[in-house]
């Protein structure tokens, strides 16, 4: 592996997993966690329990299968505590290349053929681009321009599942889990992250969340800024316009308490405003380096007030930015955002923050393609979340390695294109790969790196990831 020996990487992995094991509750869960995370990092096509058992213990597949199955599906360790520990170990690595800039909320779908797995119903699945049977999980990621890490992850439980006691019993859904909309779940995750004192950033969201006026209002009430995607039909008050203030009445009649509209005071859609802008309002703005060249597009921005249901208010909403993207080759604008960023923010900085939401797409791509986020085959609530938590834990290790090993040191955002464990790696004691299909790592070999940490304390190996200079000086 470039930038460091395989043995050094294995030792860091063992130290990382050992540190995470502090929240498992029982020492006998340490080895299953090590093997499960190792299986997620191995270059196998599917990261479900049986293939991972075969690749981590080819001589004891049945026993390892049962061990991993119990660990991920039944063992009562805390997902929240594990994600907190991952964040504690990995965020310092991310922040070496710059402070956290964004909190990104989003969801991701997992197509399912049957309807027995927890939370499966016919709903929109982004992976398929249409409605179909799937599970959907809501996530919160912390990001800067070089890396991002999911810090919260929860299954969206459709209302029919939430109300069906038989389905709840079969999937072992905790009693305290009630129906919540996706924006409600996302806002709970934001509040929990704030309560934990995580480094704050601008909340970024696509139109699936950003068009929810209550969510935007609640985020603003926390004192946090947002850049929220909205639909073309979202109504706004253009510059120089506003709803009518409540009027005091003389004589009889109840005084007005809410904003008013008349034929001359009406909001317009974001699209109508965009199409009304003069040519000089549009500027070409670049935001980051793409795979071939710097990405750029045409944008315009206007100070507006959101109009949705403001006739239920007594005062107009505060002004915010309406940012609009209209690529040169398109017949009309393609994207719209509302942003509560300062009025004097630079145009390119506003665009840069709006576009930083792409990091969540990188999270999902790597978690699914490299780490098997969608490969879990169990049907229960606990197993669904345990598997995802362990995928995020393994992803955290990749982020730590990316930040620790040259040439992917601070400032580099090049992703791992393959498992951290080389495909041709065969530890001592593993069967010959020409004779056994699942022979890349047996249990004895999987423990080799773990035993190596007995000679180098885990804290020192982790320090090498988060602060190589400090480790060298120790």
**Cα(236)–Cα(305) distance, integer angstroms:** 6
- Residue 227: the pLDDT is 98
Asked, for residue 52, whether it belongs to a domain, the answer is yes
CA 81 to CA 196: how far, in whole Å?
Answer: 12
| Residue tagged 């380096």 (tokens) | 289
- Has residue 229 got a pLDDT over 90? yes
Is 432 contained in some domain?
A: yes
- Give the span between the Cα atoms of 221 and 319, in whole angstroms: 15
The whole-number average pLDDT for the span 309-319 is 86
pLDDT tens profile 166-219: 999 999 999 999 999 999 999 999 999 999 999 999 999 999 999 999 999 999
Give a yes or no: residue 373 inside a domain.
no
Range of the domain at 407: 6-90+379-473
Task: Say if residue 221 is in the same domain as residue 347.
Answer: yes
Percent of the chain clearing pLDDT 90 (strictly above): 69
Q: Is the pLDDT of residue 140 over 90?
A: yes
| Structural domains in the chain (count) | 2
Mean residue pLDDT of the chain comes to 85
> Given this model, what pLDDT does residue 464 score?
46
The answer on 86 and 22 residing in a single domain is yes
How is residue 153 written in tokens? 């992850």
Nearest alpha-carbon partner for 41 in 435, 416, 426 = 416
**Is residue 132 assigned to a domain?**
no
pLDDT tens for 109-131 read 999 988 889 999 999 998 888 99
Is 237 a domain residue? yes
User: How far apart are alpha carbons 29 and 389 in whole angstroms?
Assistant: 15
In a domain, 82, yes or no: yes
Whether residue 325 sits in one domain with residue 401 = no
Residues forming a β-bridge with 336:
230, 324
Same domain flag for 234 and 335: yes
d(CA 437, CA 446): 17
Same domain, 332 and 408: no
User: Domain check: are 233 and 321 in the same one?
Assistant: yes
């Amino acid at each position: 592996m470039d930038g460091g020996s395989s043995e050094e990487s294995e030792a860091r992995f063992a130290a990382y997993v050992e540190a995470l094991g502090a929240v498992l509750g029982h020492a006998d869960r340490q080895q299953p966690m090590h093997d499960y995370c190792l299986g997620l990092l191995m270059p196998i096509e599917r990261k479900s329990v049986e293939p991972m058992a075969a690749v981590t213990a080819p001589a004891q597949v049945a026993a390892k299968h049962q061990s991993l199955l119990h660990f991920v599906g039944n063992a009562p360790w805390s997902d929240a505590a594990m994600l907190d520990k991952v964040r504690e170990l990995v965020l310092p690595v991310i922040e070496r290349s710059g402070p956290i800039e964004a909190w990104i909320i989003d969801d991701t779908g997992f197509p399912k053929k049957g309807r027995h797995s927890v939370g499966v119903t016919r709903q929109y699945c982004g992976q398929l681009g249409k409605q179909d049977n799937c599970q959907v999980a809501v996530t919160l990621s912390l990001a800067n321009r070089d890396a991002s890490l999911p810090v919260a992850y929860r299954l969206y439980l459709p209302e029919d599942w939430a109300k069906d006691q038989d389905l709840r019993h079969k999937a072992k859904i905790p009693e305290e889990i009630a129906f919540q909309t996706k924006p409600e779940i996302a806002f709970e995750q934001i509040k929990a992250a704030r309560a934990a004192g995580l480094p704050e950033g601008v909340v970024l969201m696509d139109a699936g969340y950003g068009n929810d006026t209550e969510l935007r209002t609640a985020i603003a009430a926390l004192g946090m800024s947002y850049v929220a995607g909205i639909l073309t039909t979202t109504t706004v008050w253009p510059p120089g316009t506003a709803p009518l203030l409540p009027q005091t009445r003389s004589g009889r009649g109840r005084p007005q308490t809410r904003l008013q509209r008349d034929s001359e005071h009406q909001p317009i859609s974001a699209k109508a405003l965009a199409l009304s802008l003069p040519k000089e309002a549009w500027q070409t703005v670049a935001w980051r380096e793409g795979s071939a060249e710097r990405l750029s597009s045409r944008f315009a921005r206007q100070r507006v007030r959101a109009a949705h249901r403001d006739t239920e208010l007594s005062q107009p909403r505060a002004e915010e930015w309406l940012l609009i993207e209209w690529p040169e080759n398109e017949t009309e604008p393609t994207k719209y955002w509302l942003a509560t960023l300062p009025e004097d923010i630079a145009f390119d900085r506003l665009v840069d923050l709006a576009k930083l939401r792409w990091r969540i797409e990188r999270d999902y791509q790597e978690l699914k393609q490299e780490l098997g986020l969608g490969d879990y085959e169990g049907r229960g609530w606990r197993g669904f979340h345990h598997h995802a938590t362990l995928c995020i834990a393994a992803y955290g290790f990749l982020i730590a390695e990316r930040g620790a090993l040259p040439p992917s040191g601070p400032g580099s955002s090049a992703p791992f294109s393959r498992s951290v464990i080389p495909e041709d790696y065969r530890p001592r004691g593993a069967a010959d790969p020409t004779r056994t299909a699942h022979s890349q790592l047996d249990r004895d070999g999987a423990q080799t790196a773990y035993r190596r940490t007995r000679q180098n304390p885990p804290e020192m190996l982790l320090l090498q990831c988060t602060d190589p200079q400090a480790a060298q000086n120790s």
